[in-house]
């Protein structure tokens, strides 16, 4: 599938002319605005007002088109908030729909292709959607002025009502058709922060009703088309394995099974519904070629990586002469860390519905990177880009799992529907479903990694040198992403949160080693920060405690050049009562980290049970993510990030025995239990800085905060995760 992705990325790159048309301005190197194509007039005859990001219908509904996938992080609500505020619509009349796949109009301005990830949805859309709302408002005002014969500056808009001083009034829907005939302003006037009605305030999410009532076709799993077949694949038991041949005699005896089709990733059983497809796949007898498969256990893979970090690797950053500084240090602390593979564990496993009639294809799925999905479908089916359409649906979670670089679910669906077409069954809808077992044991994991840190201290306990090496399989090396995301052979995704630390160490170095394995890896909520934050924050805490310094005060000493990070740390410490004695039987740990432009400090308070296990009782959190678009949603994302990260460090790991995954479902890869969830107290820093990502930054600090609390309780530093390995859970 690699060549398919290469074609997809090549096709997705906008020309310089297109790029300039899309770009209207930059701040700090980030594209923050996009000119709106003049498409409004096309819909005037129908009484609608249509722009790429805003549709106003005659029934007075304001539809905000989201170019991003909402997978539970609330981005659709955030984008609707931006438009509603500048448009001065009533929140009750605002709804959202997903934009079509069109990278020329709906590209993520930080990626150059249409896609969601890296907590970039609000940062790249903040000005774009505000401008869309402001432009729509200006056109509505112009329409009202034309209709009423009054000056535009005598007209105001409030709560979805356009009115003037002479007593004229109209709804947005009533003016939509005429507004669509107005010129689109090139520089619409934006509100100042003191004029905001919705931005910075909490409002109900736009998806609450549909998700609460079980509205049809909300998720791909809900989609059913007439005559649809469900495909479940028998997949290789080992990563890198390939199907050679199969015997489907027993499979075709299963009631409901219609066909069996071999594809490069396995053998697909097509049935009239999901259950017979699953049963049929289980009865298949498949001969697998394991000649290029991963045959090792995870202990063997980890041993290789631990050996790697004993040596110098690809240099990521070097300040000064670390070896000389370590050699002259009064004391050197050397610590090894191990982090396991992690599955994403989203509530909704991968799924996709596709039809192909030989000329055109239509897709229904929770597409996270529409441009790649679109181009892989086009290349696999051998049809033009414009002959493929994608209906993006809500996702029941992702955490990075749907951001596949190879778009393998799309490729599988395309190959199956293409095979049906060649058999004379054109246009038959096919739903490809990954079972929970496929999802857990199917790879695309957070990479396992090994770290070695050596810290030199002088006689007063001050850091003189920090040497940090890590080994992992790169998510981007060897893929088409390498050309865009690696520079001079360095993968910063691996070491983010460590190589760019703002702690004031006089001498610093960061090296990386690239481990190779057929186990596919992928972005996982907060990517490199998931392990780098743990290493850096537990090491800093260890230095503080072993040199008799208060962990918060010591961090503040090291953060003299990072006032925003210092500020969230101070706020969290204040709200947690860090300077007050902790309750009897309780212990506290702290961590502070910046990821995706946002700063998060967390203080975990734990108790020790009589059996030696721990209970995380409370987490106090301070967050600075720039302008807080919707405080309730920010809190929800931080709470979710804490819970997600906590479950991972407490008990999650994917292990292999002779190349076969040991975990298959939630009984062996257990998500966080409600009984594990602590009380969470979140404090958002008021800010006028540009809004930054919030879907991921809550995750990195929770692991080290809990680990540091355990160290305070037991004087034991947890350097190998998960904590089940130490009898703590």
Residue 131 lies in a domain: yes
Question: pLDDT (tens digit, 9 = 90+) per residue, 175-204?
Answer: 999 999 999 998 999 999 999 999 999 989
Q: Would residue 17 count as lying in a domain?
A: no
% pLDDT > 90, the chain:
90
Question: Per residue in 114-143, pLDDT tens?
Answer: 999 999 999 999 999 999 999 999 999 999
Confidence of residue 72 (pLDDT cuts 50, 70, 90): very high
Domain boundary, last residue among 385, 411, 433: 433
Domain extent, residue 71, equals 32-210
Phi, then psi, of 596 in degrees rounded to 5: 55, 35
Q: Are residues 196 and 251 in the same domain?
A: no
Structural domain total, the chain: 3
Please give the mean pLDDT across all residues of the chain: 93
What lies within 8 Å, CB to CB, of 399 at 6+ separation is 344, 345, 346, 524, 525, 644
| Distance spanning both ends of the chain, measured CA to CA | 41
Are residue 227 and residue 162 in the same domain, yes or no? no
Residues 411 and 514 in one domain: no
The CA dihedral of 515, 518, 520, 526, to the nearest 10 degrees, is -10
Model confidence over 604-639: pLDDT tens digits? 999 999 999 999 999 999 999 999 999 999 999 999
How distant, in Å, are the alpha carbons of 199, 335, 380, 522, 646 from that of 718?
Answer: 42, 11, 47, 25, 14
**415/522 same-domain check:** no
Res. 53 pLDDT band, cuts 50 70 90:
very high
Please report where in the chains the tokens 């210092």 appear, as a residue: 566
Does 6 have pLDDT greater than 90? no
Residue 8: inside a domain, yes or no?
no
User: Binning pLDDT at 50, 70 and 90, where does residue 9 land?
Assistant: very low
Could you tell me if 642 and 708 lie in one domain? Answer: yes
27 within a domain of the structure (yes/no): no
List the CATH number of the domain containing 412: 3.30.365.10
Q: Is 75 exposed, middle or buried (0-12, 13-18, 19+ CB in 10 A)?
A: buried
Rounded Cα–Cα distance for residues 433 and 238 (Å): 20
DSSP structure string for 258-270: EEEEEETTEEEEE
Residue 9 lies in a domain: no
Give domain status of residue 692, yes or no: yes
Residue 534 and residue 479 share a domain? yes
With respect to residue 517, please indicate whether it lies within any of the assigned structural domains: yes
Same domain assignment for residues 111 and 226: no
Q: Is the peptide bond before 68 cis (omega within 30 degrees of 0)?
A: no
Same domain, 484 and 595: yes
Residues 6+ positions from 584 with CB-CB distance below 8 Å: none
Interacting residues of 76 by C-beta distance below 8 A, sequence separation 6+: 64, 66, 68, 70, 96, 205, 206, 207
pLDDT at 484: 85
- Give yes or no for residue 39 having a pLDDT over 70: no
Q: What is the pTM of this model?
A: 0.93
Co-location of 492 and 380 in the same domain: no
Domain limit, last residue, from 433, 462, 482: 433
Examine residue 170 and state whether it is found in any structural domain, yes or no.
yes
When pLDDT is cut at 50, 70 and 90, the band that residue 4 belongs to is very low
Boundary (domain end) residue, out of 147, 182, 210: 210
Same domain for 225 and 190 = no
| Whether residues 329 and 422 fall in one domain | no
Which residues are 604's β-sheet partners? 589, 619
| Claim to verify: residue 584 and residue 648 sit in the same structural domain | yes
């Amino acid at each position: 599938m690699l060549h398919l992705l290469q074609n997809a990325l090549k096709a997705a790159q906008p020309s310089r002319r297109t790029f300039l048309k899309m770009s209207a301005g930059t701040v700090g190197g980030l594209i923050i605005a996009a000119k709106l194509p003049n498409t409004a007039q096309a819909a005037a005859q129908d009484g609608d007002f249509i722009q790429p990001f805003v549709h106003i219908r005659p029934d007075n509904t304001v539809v905000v088109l989201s170019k991003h996938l909402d997978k539970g992080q609330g981005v659709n609500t955030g984008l609707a908030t931006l438009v509603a505020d500048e448009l001065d619509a009533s929140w009750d009349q605002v709804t959202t729909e997903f934009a079509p796949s069109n990278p020329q109009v709906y590209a993520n301005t930080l990626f150059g292709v249409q896609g969601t990830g890296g907590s970039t949805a609000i940062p790249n859309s903040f000005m774009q959607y505000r401008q869309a709302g402001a432009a729509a408002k200006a056109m509505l005002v112009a329409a009202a002025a034309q209709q009423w014969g009054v000056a535009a500056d005598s007209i105001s808009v409030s709560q979805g009502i356009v009115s003037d001083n002479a007593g004229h009034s109209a709804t947005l829907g009533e003016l939509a058709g005429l507004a669509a005939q107005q010129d689109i302003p090139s520089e619409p006037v934006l509100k100042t922060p003191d004029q905001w009605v919705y931005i910075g305030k909490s409002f109900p999410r736009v998806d609450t009703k549909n998700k609460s009532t079980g509205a049809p076709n909300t998720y791909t799993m809900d989609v059913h088309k007439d005559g649809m077949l469900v495909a479940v694949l028998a997949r290789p038991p080992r990563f890198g394995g390939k199907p050679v041949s199969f015997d489907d005699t027993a499979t075709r005896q299963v009631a409901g099974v219609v066909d069996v089709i071999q594809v490069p990733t396995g053998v697909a059983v097509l049935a009239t519904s999901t259950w017979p497809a699953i049963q049929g796949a289980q009865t298949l007898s498949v001969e697998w070629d394991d000649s290029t498969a991963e045959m090792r256990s995870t202990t063997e893979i980890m041993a290789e990586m631990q050996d790697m970090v004993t040596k110098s690797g690809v240099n990521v950053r070097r300040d000064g002469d670390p070896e000389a500084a370590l050699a002259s240090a009064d004391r050197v602390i050397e610590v090894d860390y191990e982090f396991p593979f992690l599955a994403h564990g989203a509530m909704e496993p991968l799924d996709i519905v596709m039809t192909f009639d030989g000329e055109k294809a239509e897709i229904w799925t929770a597409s996270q990177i529409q441009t790649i999905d679109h181009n892989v479908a086009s290349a696999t089916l051998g049809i033009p880009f414009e002959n493929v359409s994608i209906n993006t649906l809500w996702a029941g979670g992702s955490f990075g799992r749907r951001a596949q670089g190879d778009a393998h679910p799309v490729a599988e669906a395309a190959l199956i529907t293409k095979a049906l077409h060649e058999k004379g069954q054109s246009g038959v809808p096919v739903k490809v479903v990954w079972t929970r077992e496929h999802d857990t044991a199917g790879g695309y994991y957070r990479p396992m990694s090994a770290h070695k840190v050596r810290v030199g201290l002088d006689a007063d306990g001050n850091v003189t040198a920090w040497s940090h090496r890590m080994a992992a399989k790169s998510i981007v090396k060897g893929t088409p992403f390498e050309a865009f995301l690696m520079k001079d052979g360095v993968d910063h995704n691996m070491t983010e949160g460590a190589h760019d630390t703002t702690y004031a160490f006089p001498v610093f170095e960061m090296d990386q080693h690239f481990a190779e394995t057929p186990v596919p890896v992928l972005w996982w909520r907060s990517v490199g920060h998931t392990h780098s934050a743990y290493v850096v924050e537990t090491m800093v805490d260890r230095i503080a405690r072993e040199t008799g310094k208060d962990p918060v005060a010591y961090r503040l000493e090291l953060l003299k050049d990072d006032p925003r990070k210092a500020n969230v740390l101070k706020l969290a410490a204040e709200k947690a009562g860090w300077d007050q004695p902790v309750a009897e039987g309780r212990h506290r740990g702290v961590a502070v980290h910046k990821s995706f432009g946002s700063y998060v400090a967390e203080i975990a308070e734990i108790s020790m049970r009589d059996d030696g296990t721990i209970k995380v009782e409370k987490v106090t959190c301070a967050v600075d993510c720039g302008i807080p678009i919707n405080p309730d949603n920010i809190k929800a994302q931080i709470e979710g990030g804490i819970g997600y990260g906590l479950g991972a460090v407490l008990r999650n790991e994917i292990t292999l025995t002779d190349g076969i995954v040991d975990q298959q479902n939630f009984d062996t890869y257990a998500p966080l239990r409600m009984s594990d969830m602590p009380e969470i107290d979140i404090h958002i820093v008021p800010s006028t800085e540009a809004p930054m990502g919030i879907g991921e930054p809550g995750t990195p600090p929770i692991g080290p905060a809990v680990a540091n609390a355990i160290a305070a309780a037991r004087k034991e530093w947890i350097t190998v995760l998960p904590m089940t390995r130490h009898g703590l859970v």
